[in-house]
Amino acid sequence: MEVSVIIESVISLFIIILVGVYGSKKKIITAKMNKGLVDLLIQIALPFMILSSFIYTYDDTIKSNVVKTFYYSIVAYIVMISVSHLLLLPIKNDKKTILHFANVFVNTGYVGFPILNSIYGAEGVVYGSIFNMFFVILVWTYGLILFKGDFNKKKLKEELKKILSNPSIIAVCIGIIIMIFNIQLPDALLSSIGAIGSITGPLSMIIIGVILSNVKIKKYLRDWTIYYGVATKLIIIPAIMYLISLLVGAPSKAINTVIIMSAMPASAMTSILAESFNKEKEYAAVIVSVTTLLSLITVTVLLKIII
């Protein structure tokens, strides 16, 4: 892909982010309204985008890559968890928890899928949705353990039910069934699924704009852990992932998709769980905001290198 096309895609996303900032500053989009937009994105738009990405003609290479993406995603999460744990040894207390969560759980929904869609189209979203399956599973198990400490059996069962009923997981399962059995859907249904899924990109960028507009970053400018954490998240871990991919062999869309996803900014779940457990919630919001903003630069550079 031409570098200019990549840059244009990222700039396009950034412009939509500015619309979100404007909407927030002018009180057009309130905090309550933004929460509703997040629910709309996660519960409806994103699952439809994932489902629509599975509805097209597959060749054997794509089917093979879907299977490979399962293994690549598992390896990616093992690497991210291990590398993050080692790099964050100098940092203590709740800030370490926040940074480790941010390193492992990336923004697949708001940023990852729109970027993959702009670069690889539906095929990229298919591979990304496999990566996202592991995100959903781990965030409600390993992620909660990071904040809470442990689980009892009853709580674990409740979280497993949440995982199985997650709209994105359901969309992937339905999509895989459609892919395996080559099910043909009516044109009217296809059009509706595609139309609903298409709002994912602009909606996610507007939400990010609202988040960025409400964070007071100045008070954290002298905190060295912010700089260290951001560098670890956006530069060191993606670089390690890329170097490992070179050892695997010839690059492919499946491998590149996993690398791109691992290079995404910190998930909004970082802020949500920090607030829920009252652990450095402002610090978490800064990490999410700064990594999101700077990822527009780091991801552009990464895409130029790997594509």
Of the chain, the percentage scoring pLDDT greater than 90 comes to: 31
Of the chain, the percentage scoring pLDDT greater than 70 comes to: 93
Instruction: For residue range 254-270, list pLDDT tens digits in order.
Output: 999 999 999 998 988 88
- 266 SS3 class: strand
Higher pLDDT, 224 or 271: 224
Instruction: For residue range 10-38, list pLDDT tens digits in order.
Output: 677 778 889 999 999 999 999 889 889 88
CATH classification code of 3-300: 1.20.1530.20
Pairwise CA distance, residues 35 & 204, whole Å: 12
What element of type H or E holds 167? helix 167-181
> What would the mean pLDDT of 231-236 be, rounded to a whole number?
95
Amino acid type, 22 = Y
Q: Which two tokens stand for residue 234?
A: 């956006």
Pairwise CA distance, residues 20 & 29, whole Å: 8
Q: Tell me the torsion sign for CA atoms 25, 31, 37, 41.
A: positive
Question: Is the distance from CB of 134 to CB of 292 less than 8 angstroms?
Answer: no
Determine the length of the chain. Answer: 307
Question: Is the distance from CB of 274 to CB of 105 less than 8 angstroms?
Answer: no
Task: Decide: residue 302, CB within 10 A, 0-12 exposed, 13-18 middle, 19+ buried.
Answer: buried
> Rounded to 5 degrees, what are φ and ψ at 92?
-115, 170
Residue 91: C-alpha distances to residues 119, 221, 270 (Å): 36, 17, 17
The pLDDT value recorded for residue 2 is 45
Pairwise CA distance, residues 102 & 48, whole Å: 26
User: Which range has the worst mean pLDDT, 89-93, 125-129, 150-154, 250-254?
Assistant: 150-154
pTM, full prediction = 0.79
